């Protein structure tokens, strides 16, 4: 994995944004994290569909990808900036925002509280 990331400048570096940042991610939901393919790639081989490898994530993004931003905490570009990094068990991808104003998601409340603390 690290060899692949090193070859991809955008993915390998994943530089800190340099601004106050709230990273919210879901985990604990079945998420495809890889695929295992048959090893017989000869020209006339009958290929079976890949076997999907399932792990923890938000049903779209694997947890290991969400955890990459943890490294920003010690990054020089984040000095003097606030980094809030919080995972939410069972939260599906892009579901931080409430469906209704009567029932805000815990993630949404945390984001609003962080904004209030910043005086935004």
Higher pLDDT, 65 or 30: 30
pLDDT value of position 44: 84
Question: What pLDDT digit, counting tens, does each position of 12-24 carry?
Answer: 677 888 998 999 9
Question: What pLDDT digit, counting tens, does each position of 40-93 carry?
Answer: 778 888 888 899 999 999 999 999 988 888 888 888 888 888 899 899 999 999
Query: Which range marks the domain in which residue 64 is found?
Result: 11-26+58-118
Please give the torsion angle defined by the CA atoms of residues 43, 47, 53 and 58, in that order, rounded to the nearest 10 degrees. Answer: 100
Within-domain flag for 32: no
Within-domain flag for 75: yes
Within-domain flag for 85: yes
Within-domain flag for 111: yes
Within-domain flag for 69: yes
Round to the nearest angstrom and report the end-to-end CA distance of the chain.
39
Q: How many CB atoms are located within 10 Å of the residue 96 CB?
A: 20
Within-domain flag for 37: no
Structural domains of the chain, count:
1
């Amino acid at each position: 994995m690290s060899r692949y990331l090193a070859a991809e400048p955008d993915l390998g570096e994943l530089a800190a944004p340099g601004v106050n940042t709230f990273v919210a991610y879901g985990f604990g939901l079945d998420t495809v994290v890889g695929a295992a393919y048959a090893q017989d790639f000869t020209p006339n081989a009958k290929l079976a569909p890949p076997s999907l490898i399932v792990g923890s994530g938000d049903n779209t993004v694997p947890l290991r990808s969400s955890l990459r931003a943890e490294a920003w905490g010690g990054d020089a570009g984040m000095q003097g900036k606030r980094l809030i990094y919080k995972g939410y068990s069972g939260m599906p991808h892009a579901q931080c925002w409430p469906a209704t104003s009567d029932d805000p998601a815990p993630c949404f409340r945390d984001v609003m509280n962080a904004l209030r603390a910043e005086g935004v």
